[in-house]
Amino acid sequence: MFLAAVLMAMVFGRCGINSQEKKNPDTMTEGEEVAISQDPMHLKPTTVGEELDLEKRKSDFEEYFKLNKKREESGTLSDAETARLEDELGECEYYSDWSDAIGEGCSWFCCGSIKRAYATSELAPSNKISYNAHNVLYTYGDSWVEGVKGYGIGESITIVFDSTSTQPNSIQILNGYAKTKSAYKNNSRVKTLRLYNMGTHVTDLELEDKIALQTFDLGFLLGERGKEWELKFEIIDVYKGDKYDDTAISLITFNGPCH
C-alpha cells in the first residue's frame, strides 16, 4: 500500500460547486458559470491551470537530488550550493509526488484514502520505466499508458478507495505523458474520459489538449463511505500523438470536503 507517498502532500484546486444551487450571475466566478451552464453528461473543465514548464521542473528536480546526494556523502556544501538547495530548490524535496511538482498543498488527501489503482492494460516497461496504473496517483514524471494496439479506445483505469476515505466532489487530471513537451506531443492524450461511479456511468469528461492541471467540479459526492468503493475512467476519444498511438494520463487526483 503506497498511501504514505500520496498523503505527503496531494490535493488541489477549489472544492466542487453544487450545480443545483442558484447563483447570482453578477457574482459568479468563471469556473462557477462553466460548472452550472454545461451539459452534465459532457463536462468541460471548470478550471484549467497554467501550463507546466516541464523542462525547468525536471532540471530543478535533478539538481536538487544531485546537491542533496553531495551533502549526504561529503557532509558539506559551499554557501552558494546550500542557498540554492534550501532557498530555491526546497520545494523539490517532495518531487517524487506529482502534487508538489505542480505546487499544490494539502486538503482532500489529508482525510481521503486511496487503496490502489489498476487498469485493463498497461504498456510493457521499457528501459526500466514502468507505465503502470498506480503512476497516476503520485509518481512524478511517469504516467499510466494503455497497452493495447491502437489508441486504447475502451481501455480504462480504476481507482479504489478505502472504506474510511472521505468522498470527493471534484476531479483533477494531468493529461498525456507529461514528462517533457516532446513526450507529451509524441504520445496520444485523452480527449474524452468516461467516468463511472461504483459501476454507474456518471458523465464524460472533455479534456483540453494542454500540459496543465484540469479541474472538473461535479457538484455532488462520489463513492459511498463505509465500504471500499471505486471510480473507473474509460478512454472514449483521444488527441492523436505525433509519433505514437499509445495514450497516456499522468495524474488523476481529487478534491472535496474533508470530513
Q: How far is CA 160 from CA 80, 141, 210, 230, in A?
A: 45, 22, 27, 4
Residue 10 has pLDDT above 90, yes or no: no
pLDDT digit string (tens) for 165-182? 989 999 999 999 998 899
Separation CA 134–CA 228 (nearest Å): 17
Share above pLDDT 90 across residues of the chain, in percent, rounded to a whole number: 49
Would you say residue 97 lies in a domain?
no
Would you say residue 66 lies in a domain?
no
pLDDT digit string (tens) for 149-208? 999 999 999 999 999 898 999 999 999 999 889 999 999 999 999 999 999 999 999 999
Would you say residue 205 lies in a domain?
yes
Whole-model pTM? 0.74
Do residues 223 and 130 lie in contact, with contact meaning Cβ atoms separated by under 8 Å? no
pLDDT digit string (tens) for 20-69? 333 344 444 444 444 445 677 899 999 999 888 877 777 877 787 788 88
Q: Read off the CATH number of the domain in which 242 is found.
A: 2.60.120.260
Residue linked to cell 503506497: 2
Separation CA 180–CA 168 (nearest Å): 30
Go through the chain and tell me how many residues it has.
Answer: 259
Map residue 94 onto helix, strand or coil: helix
Residue 123 has pLDDT above 90, yes or no: yes
How many structural domains are present in the chain?
Answer: 1
In DSSP terms, 78 is beta-bridged to: none
Would you say residue 115 lies in a domain?
yes
Q: What is the pLDDT of residue 90?
A: 59
* 3-state class percentages of the chain: helix first, strand second, coil last, to nearest 5: 25, 25, 45
Range of the domain at 185: 3-54+103-255
